[in-house]
Chains A and B, each alone.
Chain A
């Protein structure tokens, strides 16, 4: 805390605060994320093989149906209050797969249900996932335009 100007003050203080942070256990976190993320992918693959062999789906239909199954599972687990417990331990392992996206839509929906069906649930459902959708659509449009021009 010996900085002479405001910027130095801030930097010194932030460094001081950081010095008390417990160290992040990178290896343990990565291992858990790999395990849970891999497990979710295995479940996805199981659905894929199952749908291909039993219902005879193929191509984009098969990919879509698999995603729908995983989204359903992610939403269901969020509703049961299990997904946040998985997420607490798995980190990116359960956020990155499509189930994590389902969780980010379903969890605000549950949270804001108390504020009403229209202004609560429906309006605030995309409070977490909204930016992903906005920039996802934007990026998709830009790529589409570039693809058209090439």
Chain B
């Protein structure tokens, strides 16, 4: 049973997005709610900026769904740092319960799948799911200090500076989540820290929208 189908078809009723300057230089810039010119978001460290972006994405998603904080029953979120600290700290800003998840690149899909299951079953009415990452904090977490004069191989990937959130409810929009397929952990022996995409590609899970 890798795939589950949601009978009541939970809907995505609002989204909130924010992204850094490099991300917004391309097509993405036209679609985000806020494009940052300063990748520190006015904070003293990149970790704090990541937390603030996440908090912003959550409140923006609630606002875009035309809800208030009291309407939201739960937050399901995660990020890339140790002890999913950005999500946990962002959750301090809100009054609803928080469920922390970690799935690296799949955190968003994972939290949406869990939220859909809760909403579909009727336990909760509105759940906010969110995730965020920051290039500079991820570099420190997984790779080398920023100022180290090493070369990045051409196939290396760039961790997104940004955050996104969405509100999932049973009715209220035409975008429905119909099914979720959970990926298995498949290790094909990729050890390159600069190429994590290929390490994760065999594990892929799918959310049917």
Contact = CB atoms under 8 A, between A and B. Distances in A.
B147 A114 contact: no
B148 interface: yes
Interface in B20-59: 44-45, 47
Interface residues of B, number: 22
Interface string A90-113: 110011000010011011101110
Contacts of A20: 155
A104 B189 contact: no
Given A17-B198, A22-B154, A111-B140, A10 B149 contact: no
A87 B151 CA distance: 6
A9 interface: yes
B152 interface: yes
Interface stretch (A44-52, A63-71, A77-85, A139-147): A77-85
Q: Interface on chain B toward A: helix, strand, loop, or mixed SS?
A: loop
B181 interface: no
B144 interface: yes
Contacts of B189: 10, 13-14
13 contacts: A14-B188, A14-B190, A21-B153, A22-B154, A24-B153, A78-B147, A83-B149, A91-B151, A103-B149, A107-B146, A107-B149, A111-B145, A128-B148
Given A13-B188, A13-B202, A114-B45, 11 more contacts: A13-B190, A17-B190, A17-B195, A17-B198, A20-B155, A78-B147, A91-B151, A95-B149, A103-B149, A111-B140, A114-B44
